[in-house]
């Protein structure tokens, strides 16, 4: 295998720099207006610009709440069929598109403990 030309080296440096800048731009968001995943979260994403790679942190008491990552249909119907998170301090990395989250404890989703987040 031959040596890289100066041109090839510059291209590699530019690509690596672009990748590192993309990671540096990711933001971490604590979910909820009071820093807690609770019944007042439905409107919390409004006015925020989420990007793929951003991280949502869900803080809650695992004895009374959880986070269920659900489909749009299950979000609309408050059906807790999906990936269940229950540590009380969960980190979720966003991908592009809309992600849906509900609390799977009985009645919590129907009283507003759910949110949809769209990342570019």
CATH number of the CATH domain containing 54: 2.60.40.420
Residue 24 has pLDDT above 60, yes or no: no
- Residue 45, pLDDT > 70, answer yes
Q: Sheet containing 89-93: which strands, arranged edge to edge?
A: 28-30, 55-59, 89-93
Pairwise CA distance, residues 104 & 56, whole Å = 18
Res 40: pLDDT:
86
Main-chain dihedrals φ then ψ at residue 109, nearest 5 degrees: -60, -45
Query: Is 1 among the domain residues?
Result: no
The pLDDT of residue 9 is 63
Tokens of 51: 């990007």
pLDDT > 80? residue 19: no
Q: Does 25 score more than 90 pLDDT?
A: no
Tell me, yes or no, whether 9 lies in a domain: no
Neighbouring CB atoms inside 10 A of 40's CB total 14
User: Does 3 reside within a domain?
Assistant: no
pLDDT score for 28: 97
Range of the domain at 97: 26-119
Residue 97: the pLDDT is 97
In a domain, 109, yes or no: yes
On whether residue 4 sits in a domain, the answer given is no
| Choice among 14-18, 33-37, 56-60, 92-96 with the minimum mean pLDDT | 14-18
Q: Is residue 15 part of a domain?
A: no
CA dihedral (41, 47, 48, 49) in degrees, to 10, reads: 140
pTM of the predicted structure, to 2 decimals: 0.79
Average pLDDT over the chain, rounded to whole? 89
- Give a yes or no: residue 21 inside a domain: no
The total domain count for the chain is 1
Is residue 81 a part of any domain in this protein? yes
Show the DSSP H helices in the chain as ranges: 6-24, 72-77
pLDDT value of residue 64: 96
Average pLDDT over residues 33-50: 93
CA distance linking residue 113 with residue 51, whole number of Å: 23
């Amino acid at each position: 295998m031959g040596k890289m030309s100066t041109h090839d080296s510059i291209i590699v440096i530019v690509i690596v720099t672009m990748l590192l800048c993309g990671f540096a731009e990711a933001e971490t968001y604590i979910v909820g207006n009071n820093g807690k995943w609770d019944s007042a979260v439905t409107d919390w994403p409004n006015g925020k610009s989420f990007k793929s790679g951003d991280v949502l942190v869900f803080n809650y008491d695992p004895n009374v709440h959880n986070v269920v990552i659900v489909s749009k249909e299950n979000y609309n119907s408050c059906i807790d069929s999906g990936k269940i998170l229950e540590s009380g301090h969960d980190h979720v990395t966003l991908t592009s598109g809309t992600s849906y989250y509900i609390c799977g404890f009985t009645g919590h989703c129907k009283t507003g403990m759910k949110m949809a987040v769209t990342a570019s």
